[in-house]
Structure 1
Amino acid sequence: MKLAIIFITCIFRSIASADILQNPDFELPISNLPTNSTSPFVLLNENNTIPGWTFQGEVQYVTAGANVSLPRNGHAIMLGQDGKINQTFTANGDLIQYLLTFTLSLASRNCKANVSLVVSAPDSSAEFSFTQKFGKEAWEVYGHQLGTWGNGESVNLILQSQVTDTDPNSTCWPVVDTLFLKTLGPLAQNSDNLLPNGGFELGPAFLDSSGEGVLLISEPSLVESALQQWTIMGTVKYINSKNYFIPEGKAAIEIVSGVSAGIQTAKTLSDGSNYNLEFMLGDANDSCSGELLVGVGAGSSAQNFSLQSNGSGAVKKYSMTFKGGPSPTQITFLSYKTTQREDGVFCGPVIDGVVLRASHGHKSNLQPILIALFFLAILQMSELL
């Protein structure tokens, strides 16, 4: 009965909610937009405002052109000195998680990143910046969990620039575009896998305007991670089957930021019982070639696994056994190498199809009893004869 309760399959609700935010891609033009201006930047002020958003500090309306690359080849917002935009939305219905996907680029293709973007909401804040090259596009797509709300709560989403350079005149300001909110209901376990979201199907939304996947930065909290039930170490890329080779299902994780980057989860298991961990190790068909080396830890057990890749889409299925401990068991996948493509883009091993099951080995304590019963049955039969 207890096992039956544990393995009940529950429904997971996922709703892609493009209409939660007003003007999320900034394509509704600002008021008094100049028609004869040759500059791709228009400073917002009391006469030039952006529909759906309020702003403070230096904020400019950006039009894609020769010097500015945008995902939709349309419009975006640049956050300059003390620049901030915000919008308030209402979290109706039951308590659900809100996952934000957005694009981040720089005001010029030639400048270096010395400023970051801070995204915040009630009880959450995260900082995003260009530190490495993770794709061929002039922008990067990020995912972030804003928080969990419901019952008509008012949520204020804030995006603001944060200078990391002491000279504001040399600062290359961030450009924000194409925000998308996705909502997720309660996560529950199914009967085939002790690890919720072991196939990584539950995460932030992918954007149609980008083919580079969604970057997830370091997040040590299982509850606050945009990748449901997995913490993030370093930077990983959430990839989909539309643009990459995926070993199984529609989504997977590529560990892109090198040594000690990866993902981790935790599960309460029976102390001393045997368990089997299965997973798939592959490459994303993104020209990431060479030896892909991953260290896998499960409780007190650890093993290394490798895949020799030519970058054209390959996969191997691996498994390992381990014993449950007295406290929640940590299950970790870490990259042991830093890998780059020929064009300098950072890439790495793909993890997918992580399945945790109780091993038949945990029933081994029954074997002596079964053997004794077997010999007892033979003895009884011999006496009858």
Structure 2
Amino acid sequence: MRCAVLLVLLVCAAARDAAAVVTDGLLANGNFESGPPKSDLVNGTVVKGGNAIPNWQTSGFVEYIESGHKQGDMLLVVPQGAHAVRLGNEASILQRLSVTRGAYYAVTFSAARTCAQAETINISVSPESGVLPMQTIYGSNGWDSYSWAFKAKFDTVELVIHNPGVEEDPACGPLIDAVAIRTLYPPTLTKGNMLKNGGFEEGPYFLPNASWGVLVPPNIEDDHSPLPAWMIMSSKAVKYVDAAHFKVPEGARAVELVGGKESALVQEVRTVPGWTYRLSFAVGDANDGCTGSMVAEAYAGRATVKVPYTSNGAGGYKRAVLEFAADRNRTRVVFQSTFYHMKPDGTLCGPVIDDAKLIPLRKKTTGGRRHML
């Protein structure tokens, strides 16, 4: 009998500590719909014990929140399903993942502020980590989906989402929901295009029924871009959008420039000094309520083009071309929005960039030519 009991305990411990095998989509209990037993909840929400939430380990002040939970005059809403977790001061959630060493992955999760005006989220997969600021809210319902990428250094890794905040109320902190992952495949050059991933088809996982897109953070927050081959420069994120919930000019995915001149979409390519090149791309709107006069800018070498686009919110687009002379062995191709734009509800938005292609003309020139089609 003692041996049988010991065997059961060992099996339970092994199951608890086992790493979940990664497949594209939600992590095991990534939406937190499988909750702790009521005996492990203090005052109805505070999680007691580090292993109370199935498939997760918790540390610090963690609450298990049901959609509609009231916090003073605030009604907490869960974006998907009925449950989420809230991370108080220095609280964290952890899940062990079985991955392929050397492979690249993008984590996607949804988060919302509940108290503080300047919350941040730490995310890490040892030995890499990043800090995702939440000062700017891009989603009209108060939620945003964030992406963060890492390169697996081991066969088993620990994904940790941590609230580093120190608030007067220790319970204040972000709500976390719908944690997912996707394997990233580094894009290669295709015939007729010197840009990699020019159609933005390779990127982070889109949560089912998440109609607000996925934020891709600036490179200062992420050593590996969730948008392979592209870097996000400056301080603001860009929004990754899909054809299932938005209008995109080409294919299934595109990028919405929601940070004005505070964010830039950048790719560096090999060029031959003295040769000319033609950059073509599409500029449009995502049919997400962002209307008005927009201007998208493109830079390459010493040439620039500003592409005006008037959005009526129908998801249209136009094409533009920039020809430039390379003066270095490597040239940066840059896209950004000239202005900030807001929807009627006050959330940030902007022009969409898609179908970017770069081809050599192999003709020497001294200036840049630009035109819209």
Q: TM-score, normalised by structure 2?
A: 0.83
The within-5 A match list for 1:169-180 is 169=169, 172-180=172-180
Between 318-327 and 213-222, the greater mean CA deviation after superposition: 213-222
Distance 1:44 1:149, change over 3 A: same
Distance 1:47 1:99, change over 3 A: closer
Inter-partner Cα distance in structure 1 for 2:209 and 2:238: 20
1:207 is aligned to: 207
1:248 aligns with 2:255: no
**Is the contact made by 2:24 and 2:205 (CA closer than 8 Å) also made in structure 1?**
no
2:6 is aligned to: none
**Is the contact made by 1:201 and 1:251 (CA closer than 8 Å) also made in structure 2?**
yes
- Note the alpha carbon deviations across 1:288-329, whole angstroms, 9 max, x for none: 122211221101222222112222222110001112233311
Q: Percentage identity across aligned positions?
A: 28
Distance 1:342 1:221, change over 3 A: closer
Inter-partner Cα distance in structure 2 for 1:135 and 1:222: 21
- Note the alpha carbon deviations across 1:95-139, whole angstroms, 9 max, x for none: 3211001000134xxx45332211111232222243233122231
Q: Which runs of 5+ in 1 are unaligned?
A: 1-14, 364-385
Inter-partner Cα distance in structure 2 for 1:159 and 1:222: 14
Q: TM-score, normalised by structure 1?
A: 0.81
**Is the contact made by 2:272 and 2:329 (CA closer than 8 Å) also made in structure 1?**
no
1:60 aligns with 2:66: no
1:283 aligns with 2:285: yes
- Aligned with 1:361: secondary structure? coil
**Is the contact made by 1:16 and 1:205 (CA closer than 8 Å) also made in structure 2?**
no
Q: What RMSD in Å do the two structures reach over aligned CA positions?
A: 2.5
Q: 1:342 aligns with which of 321, 341, 344?
A: 344
- Aligned with 1:321: secondary structure? strand
- Note the alpha carbon deviations across 1:242-270, whole angstroms, 9 max, x for none: 11110000000001122332200100112
1:77 is aligned to: 85
Q: 1:24 aligns with which of 15, 27, 30?
A: 30
Q: Which runs of 5+ in 2 are unaligned?
A: 1-21, 70-74, 366-373
1:143 aligns with 2:150: no
1:7 is aligned to: none
The within-5 A match list for 1:66-215 is 67-92=75-100, 95-107=102-114, 111-145=115-149, 147-149=150-152, 153-163=155-165, 167-169=167-169, 172-215=172-215
**Is the contact made by 2:342 and 2:348 (CA closer than 8 Å) also made in structure 1?**
yes
Letter paired with 2:267: T
- The aligned length equals 337
**Is the contact made by 1:104 and 1:175 (CA closer than 8 Å) also made in structure 2?**
yes
Letter paired with 1:123: P
Give 1:47 shift: 8.2
The within-5 A match list for 1:213-252 is 213-219=213-219, 224-233=224-233, 234-252=236-254
Give 1:51 shift: 1.2
- Aligned with 1:232: secondary structure? strand
Inter-partner Cα distance in structure 1 for 2:275 and 2:50: 68
1:304 is aligned to: 306
Give 1:168 shift: 2.1
Inter-partner Cα distance in structure 2 for 1:339 and 1:78: 31
**Is the contact made by 2:278 and 2:322 (CA closer than 8 Å) also made in structure 1?**
yes
Inter-partner Cα distance in structure 2 for 1:284 and 1:220: 27
- Aligned with 1:25: secondary structure? coil
Give 1:222 shift: 9.4
